[in-house]
Amino acid sequence: MMKGIFIYCRAGFEGECAAEIQERAGTLGIYGYSKAKPASGYMVFTPSDPDDADRLHRELPFDELIFVRQWFVVLIMRNDLPQDDRISALLDALSQMPEVANSLQIDTPDTNEAKQLSGLCRSVTKPAQAILAKHGLYQKSEAGEGVRCHICFMSVQAAYAGYSLVNNSSPWPMGIPRLRSSSKAPSRSTLKLDEAFLIFLDASQRHDYLQAGMTAVDLGACPGGWTWQLVRRGLKVVAIDNGAMAESVMETGLVTHMRVDGYQFQPDEPVDWMVCDIVESPIRTAELAARWLSQRWCKHTVFNLKLPMKKRWQELTRCLDLIRLTLDSAGVSYQLRVRQLYHDREEVTVYLLVIN
């Protein structure tokens, strides 16, 4: 038996994830240590007080976390599971869930090695549901609240098991939304913006904020992957890039292409959206976004910050501090959200909304 927080993240970003969770836990007066093996795709935070695992998961808003894809409170880790009945070996610990689980996720960390266990995860899911239901620990429901049971296999004999709060965690296994790239999209980078809209906006906001006829500027648009996400929703886009745009995007009749520098461009009048996926130093892109919002050239922006190989957490903190200082000084009320998306690589995606 143990109490901790199991956290899924992008392989290679375990250190940044650990730094973030240590810092955020500290703001709640929760202290402990992190186990983060490089390139493992996960980490475990163990509070000094075991009861603080539940409190951290309850009080720290999942939507505010950057490098955390999914998380759950660990109730047990076993590396000696009997191959003929793995689930029964976890029942005593899972009986400590705060209530009957209404959903179940059985998965692995997102690494090539762990993916070899995907067949095992599929094969034990239905038996696990039956065993947990038989012992009064699981009853399937589509409720938007309550508790989700988690079992994360590390090998055929080892697994972490516990629970998450449905309304303070990701709805997707491993925290990964499954999106498909359209054959009409000019590049796979289109999925970054598609995922950003899914993560940062709820269904009502996507309807209200992405209406046909709204206007947008795409900085660094070539070949048009992000522009395509906007025009397929009916937005009118000014695409800024010295490179060529895909014909399929230009044929929509909704795109004006201007061959100018994205960092120098200024709109003639405010637009609804500015999006940017330029490969440039993160601080320069942060300054660009802060300028657009402080000048009120747009109401919404989504942009990527390309992180350096070293001191990524420190550089990200510097960029976000600059944005906050600039907007606060300009008297701009705003909403800020940041997430390393599944379709991101050495970067994070930022969403900013001007409120006033």
Q: Give catalytic residue positions.
A: 306
Q: What 3-state DSSP class applies to 237?
A: strand
Tell me the C-alpha distance between 165 and 70, whole Å.
Answer: 11
Sheet holding 298-306, edge to edge: 255-258, 236-240, 215-219, 271-276, 298-306, 347-354, 334-339
In 3D, which of 4, 126, 8 has the Cα closest to residue 74? 4
Is 216 in contact with 271 (CB distance < 8 Å)?
Answer: yes
Q: Which helix (H) or strand (E) holds 338?
A: strand 334-339
Q: Which residues contact 124 (CB under 8 A, 6 or more apart)?
A: 86, 87, 106, 151
Query: Residue 1: how many CB atoms within 10 A of its CB?
Result: 11
In 3D, which of 279, 59, 325 has the Cα closest to residue 168? 59
Tell me the C-alpha distance between 149 and 298, whole Å.
Answer: 42
Tell me the C-alpha distance between 346 and 79, whole Å.
Answer: 32
Is 65 in contact with 13 (CB distance < 8 Å)?
Answer: no
DSSP character string of 89-142 = GGHHHHTTSSS-EEEEEEE--SSTTGGGGHHHHHHHHHHHHHHHHHTTSB----
Tell me the C-alpha distance between 271 and 288, whole Å.
Answer: 15
Strand pairing of 271-276 and 215-219?
Answer: parallel
Is 118 in contact with 127 (CB distance < 8 Å)?
Answer: no
Tell me the C-alpha distance between 306 and 208, whole Å.
Answer: 29
